[in-house]
Amino acid sequence: MPQSQDKPKENPAVQADIVNFPLQPEASRAEFALRRALGGVAVNEDSFSRLLQCVRNLQRTRDKIERLLQDQGADLQVMHDHTTEIAVGLYGDTRAAHTRAWEMFYTIAEEVLGLTRSQAHLQLNLYRRFLQHNGALTKLNIGELMILRRSDYTAEEIDAVIEFKENDPAYRRKDIREFVERLRRKQEEVLDVQSKLDVATAELATTISENADKDHEIRRLNTELSRLTAERDTDRLTLTQLREEMTRQNSSYSALGMQVADLEREKRELQERIAFAKGNVRPESIEVPIVPQAMPRWKMHWQPRTTSLRPPRPS
């Protein structure tokens, strides 16, 4: 035991490489997980530091293994491509040729590489599934890739899982499915809110358009109202003037009526006087002496003249 405890001190370079240069998110996550795994047991810093070094070494080893497994998946893909090329060259591009290619692939994996058919198939399928995703093969381990290998997991959800793994100390592989389900529920809520927002935006645009039309109609009606109000005021002024003129004409007609009545009365009186005078006229002869003047002698004579006297006009 003492020898095993002193062994890390014999190689300080390796210790410095392990302790001083970890990835910060992984280091903090490993430290947090280790303290939680200890369950609050009092551990001195030296022992805790040694435990943390072991954990980090194992993490790095597992990361190397994962990267090697990813490289293995790439080589398995190349191997399958070559077996397919050989089988197609021998038997033609048929279904039977592709079946023979798979048999050759599995035989090489079992007899040469020591892999079972399921291991070779899993490694190849994981490589194919995540080949086009930038970062999945290098940032997720085999177990995580197996969880996410289903086709219903989108590239955005895989990116979210990678971000969750790198930035959240509480990350656990078993929480991936729950995390994705929670992410999908939030996405559905976002889509629902976005849909409602789109509907509200469309309704608002319609309302704005309707209000613009109504404002235009209101302005037109206000203009029409102003015009009609001006015409009404003009008509009222004209009506007032006509009423005044009618009043003046009525006054004139009344005065003329009175004058006509007076004239009619005077006419009747005159007619009565004329009738009276005609009924009471008496002819009279009056002798008027004419003074002789220097006239021809043959004109000098006396002539009687008859004059009708009219009765005096009553007052």
DSSP string, the chain: -HHHHHGGGG-HHHHHHHHHS--HHHHHHHHHHHHHHHTT----HHHHHHHHHHHHHHHHHHHHHHHHHHHHHHHHHHHHHHHHHHHHHHH-SSHHHHHHHHHHHHHHHHHTS---HHHHHHHHHHHHHHTTSTTHHHHS-HHHHHHHTSTTS-HHHHHHHHHHHHH-TT--GGGHHHHHHHHHHHHHHHHHHHHHHHHHHHHHHHHHHHHHHHHHHHHHHHHHHHHHHHHHHHHHHHHHHHHHHHHHHHHHHHHHHHHHHHHHHHHHHHHHHHHHHHHT---EEE-------S--GGG-----EEEPPPPPPP-
Residue 75 lies in a domain: yes
Q: List the structure tokens of 75.
A: 């080589």
pLDDT in tens, the chain (315 residues): 334 344 444 443 334 344 444 445 556 777 877 788 888 777 788 888 888 888 888 878 877 876 776 777 788 889 999 999 999 998 888 998 999 999 999 898 888 888 888 888 887 877 777 766 666 766 776 777 777 777 667 778 777 887 777 777 777 777 777 878 887 888 788 888 888 888 888 888 888 888 888 888 898 899 988 989 998 998 888 888 888 888 888 888 888 888 888 888 888 888 888 888 877 766 666 676 766 565 555 555 555 555 444 555 555
Residue 57 lies in a domain: yes
What pLDDT was estimated at residue 261?
Answer: 87
The predicted model scores a pTM of: 0.40
| Residues of the domain holding 67 | 24-105
What pLDDT was estimated at residue 14?
Answer: 38
Q: Do residues 150 and 176 touch, judged by C-beta distance below 8 A?
A: no
Residue 136 lies in a domain: no
What pLDDT was estimated at residue 312?
Answer: 56
Residue 73 lies in a domain: yes
Q: Do residues 29 and 171 touch, judged by C-beta distance below 8 A?
A: yes
What pLDDT was estimated at residue 85?
Answer: 92
Q: Do residues 290 and 302 touch, judged by C-beta distance below 8 A?
A: yes
Residue 286 lies in a domain: no
Residue 56 lies in a domain: yes
Residue 69 lies in a domain: yes
Number of domains in the chain: 1
What pLDDT was estimated at residue 310?
Answer: 53
Residue 76 lies in a domain: yes
